[in-house]
Amino acid sequence: MKIHREGYRIVLLSLALLAVPVLLTYWLCPYRAVGHGVLLLALLLLAFVVRFFRVPSRPFVPSESALYSPADGTVVAIEEVDEGMFLNSRCMQVSVFMSVWNVHINWYPTQGEVVAYKYHPGDFLVARHPKSSTHNERTSVVLKRSDGRQLLVRQIAGFVARRIVCYAKEHQAVQQCDEMGFIKFGSRVDVLLPLEAKVLVELGQKVKGRTSILAEL
């Protein structure tokens, strides 16, 4: 299993920190069973950290009409909203909530040019909360497709997640399902689409990045 580059430092740090109590237990405790128990617990914790930063192998079929999910998780919102900061129009918003058990890489749902990027400082409300889209720490990335239509992808920090990584740069040309970024330890991604987009998912549906199609244009 491949580990994402955002996880190298954390995995190594976790390994070093977990090794200390294991070694001390074997050195100071006369009961080997206790040492074995601490070792098992440390391995489980390390496995959780490694699993969190895993990189799945997922081939996909490029499509001009399909808009792939930018993240793994659960669809928690499908609604019309007014977006007045970048798109200045009424849009269809589809939101995907990522738990700590999901892959936390974020991908571009379609090809295009990054015409706007902005980091917004903010709060750390629970990412499922509707106000998290406008109140939480987040990034906004606007993509302009070759057909001229634009969509906005928003990474949102949650109550646990305190670190958003976004690789987008203005005027950068990106391909469908290229990596857009990474959110550490649970959060949410919103996709704001033109109203003519045909949404293909339902509330509560489990989706996978690079695999599940959220909508079609």
CA distances to 106, 121, 129 from 164, rounded to whole Å, are 10, 11, 18
Q: Is the pLDDT of residue 125 over 70?
A: no
Confidence of residue 122 (pLDDT cuts 50, 70, 90): low
Q: Give phi and psi for 28, each to the nearest 5.
A: -100, -30
pLDDT number for residue 93: 97
pLDDT number for residue 65: 92
Residue 108: CATH number of its domain:
2.70.70.10
Catalytic residue among 95, 132, 133, 187: 187
Residue range 104-108: average pLDDT?
A: 94
Q: Is the pLDDT of residue 89 over 90?
A: yes
Note if 99 is an active site residue.
Answer: no
Beta carbons within 10 angstroms of residue 146's beta carbon: 11
Q: Quick one: 17 and 112 in the same domain?
A: no
Q: Point out which residues pair with 179 in neighbouring strands.
A: 107
Q: From CA 217, how far away is CA 212, in angstroms rounded?
A: 15
Q: Quick one: 123 and 29 in the same domain?
A: no
Residue range 142-152: average pLDDT?
A: 95
Q: Quick one: 165 and 190 in the same domain?
A: yes
* Residue 61 in domain: no
Q: Quick one: 109 and 206 in the same domain?
A: yes
Residue range 84-94: average pLDDT?
A: 94
Residue range 192-196: average pLDDT?
A: 95
Pair of tokens at residue 108: 């571009």
Q: Is the pLDDT of residue 217 over 80?
A: yes
* Residue 81 in domain: yes
Q: Quick one: 175 and 104 in the same domain?
A: yes
* Residue 141 in domain: yes
* Residue 92 in domain: yes
Q: Quick one: 176 and 131 in the same domain?
A: yes
Could you list the residue range(s) of the whole structural domain that residue 10 is in?
Answer: 2-55
CA neighbor of 152 nearest in space, from 62, 89, 58, 60:
89
* Residue 118 in domain: yes
CA angle 54–75–156, rounded 5-degree value: 65
Q: Quick one: 42 and 70 in the same domain?
A: no
Q: Quick one: 208 and 186 in the same domain?
A: yes
Domain count, the chain: 2
